[in-house]
Amino acid sequence: MDQNRLEYLFSRYAAGQATPGELREFDALMQQPEHEAAIKTAIDQLFRATSGTATMPEKAIQATLQHITGKPASSSVVRYLRRSWWAAAAGLLLLGSGAWLLTRPRQEAVAPLADKAPGGNKAVLTLADGSTMALDSSGQQVIGQQQTTIRQSGGQLQYSVQARSAVTTYNILTTPRGGQFRVILPDGTAVWLNTASALRYPTAFNGADRTVELQGEAYFEVAANATQPFRVKTATQEIQVLGTSFNINAYTDEAYTVTTLVNGRVKVNAPGKDAGVVLEPGQQAIAAHSGSQAMTVAHTFAPDVIAWKNGLFLFDNADLETVMRCLERWYDIEVKYEAKPDIHYTGQIARSQPLSKVVHMLEQTGQARFRLVRAGQGQQAKDRIIILE
């Protein structure tokens, strides 16, 4: 660190003459623990060089103290420090060894992250009695549950019902960030559950319809049964089908729930907003998570929407934040923005790629730089992508 530069920044700051850029630069130095001794030395040299002749503007004292301590200074403190430049600097030096150290935010330990493996087949199954089971690609097991048998074969569960039960019980299949799983429901309906999602469903479809509840994203291939309609409920939509294939994206960190029909015919309702719409293949029903706007219908190329099921990220003029939300969920990372360049991406990337390769591909646009780090230590450590200018 340039000692002359530090002294210059402090003198400009204390005199109330620093530009916004100089303020940011000085603040960044103050927040770094390794610069603490140098900052104290600079302050000490500065007030000794003034020989106690200079005075410090009251507004500058107020601003400086509030910046360092996070609290307004009392009038008595300001009057004392305003007696001389030496006294003001000495007071700041004392704060540097006391209140400053107590009030400034604790710096997170950050280390470079070499790479991050992609997500895979993993989930948690919650049974009707509340017990849970961790599932992954290697599992091979048979689970008995009242009149229902569940077979796990790698990344798939399959339900079969021996006899109808008088009591309807439910299971919940939950995928963590970085996980995905497939389940064959008791009626033969196949569901691909994307990362960070949950599906609640009965262990046997005993009623007049077949109703499941979804959080997150899933692709459905519904077994046809004209006498027992299939329904999917999300927080903002309810989808009614007889036999069809469709995708629902209902992540809470997205602005909309989007239902895309691949084939067949479905009716999509947005409770409390409108009477619902009937979709044809290649159409989407879009319902906002907040506000009173009506559900809208748009045309799309359905195979692109379900690319995730086939192991691909597929972006069509997607903005940076949309892309980063996909990576956050699949690689179980956080994204920190030091800059938010206006970038849009079009193309496809295999979800089997390690994170470093995905980031490298995104950097080929030349419009943004990315840094992989691990922040924190131990169990609290979090892997991050930092977006740079």
pLDDT in tens, 216-266: 999 999 999 989 999 999 999 999 997 899 999 999 999 999 999 999 999
pLDDT (0 to 100) of residue 92: 47
User: What are the beta bridge partners of residue 384?
Assistant: 334, 373
What's the confidence (pLDDT) of residue 8?
A: 74
Which of these, 229, 225, 222, lies nearest to 248 by C-alpha position?
A: 222
Residue 206 phi/psi, 5-degree rounding, is: -95, -15
Name which of 288, 249, 256, 253 is nearest 272 in CA terms: 288
Q: How confident is the model at residue 378 (pLDDT cuts 50, 70, 90)?
A: confident
Whole-angstrom distance, CA of residue 70 vs CA of residue 62: 11
Q: C-alpha angle with apex 2: 67 to 386, nearest 5 degrees?
A: 65
In DSSP notation, 331-349 reads HT-EEEES-----EEEEEE
Position 97 pLDDT exceeds 50: no
Q: What is the mean pLDDT of the chain?
A: 82
Long-range contacts formed by 148-152: CB under 8 A, 24+ apart: 148/186, 148/203, 148/204, 150/125
Topology annotation, domain 311-388? Phage tail protein beta-alpha-beta fold (3.55.50)
Span 84-109, mean pLDDT? 46
| Amino acid 103: pLDDT | 43
Helix (H), strand (E) counts: the chain = 10, 24
What is the dotted CATH code of the domain comprising 120-305? 2.60.120.1440
pLDDT band for position 273 (50/70/90)?
low
Q: Could you give the CA distance from residue 229 to residue 8 in angstroms, rounded to a whole number?
A: 75
Residue 316 pLDDT level (bands cut at 50, 70, 90): very high
> Residue 195 pLDDT more than 90?
yes
pTM: 0.73
Q: Is the pLDDT of residue 72 over 90?
A: no
Alpha-carbon distance of 100 to 108, in angstroms, equals: 17
Provide the pLDDT for residue 45. Answer: 59
Distance between CA atoms of residues 287 and 312, nearest Å: 25
Cα 173–chain centre separation: 21
Instruction: Give the model confidence (pLDDT) of 114-163 as tens digits.
Output: 899 999 999 999 999 999 999 999 989 999 888 889 999 999 999 998 87
- pLDDT value at residue 25: 73
Tell me the HSE value of 340 on the side-chain side, using a 13 A CA sphere. 8
Can you tell me the mean pLDDT for 84-110? 47
Exposure string for 239-276, b = 16+ CB within 10 A, e = fewer:
bbbbbbbbbbbbbeeeebbbbbbbebebbbbbeebeeb
Question: What is the C-alpha separation between 51 and 40, in angstroms, rounded?
Answer: 18
* Strand 256-263, strand 283-288: pairing: antiparallel
DSSP string, 3-61: HHHHHHHHHHHHTT---HHHHHHHHHHHT-GGGHHHHHHHHHHHHHHTTT-----HHHH
Domain ranges across the chain: 3-107, 120-305, 311-388
User: What is residue 62's predicted lDDT score, i.e. its pLDDT?
Assistant: 57
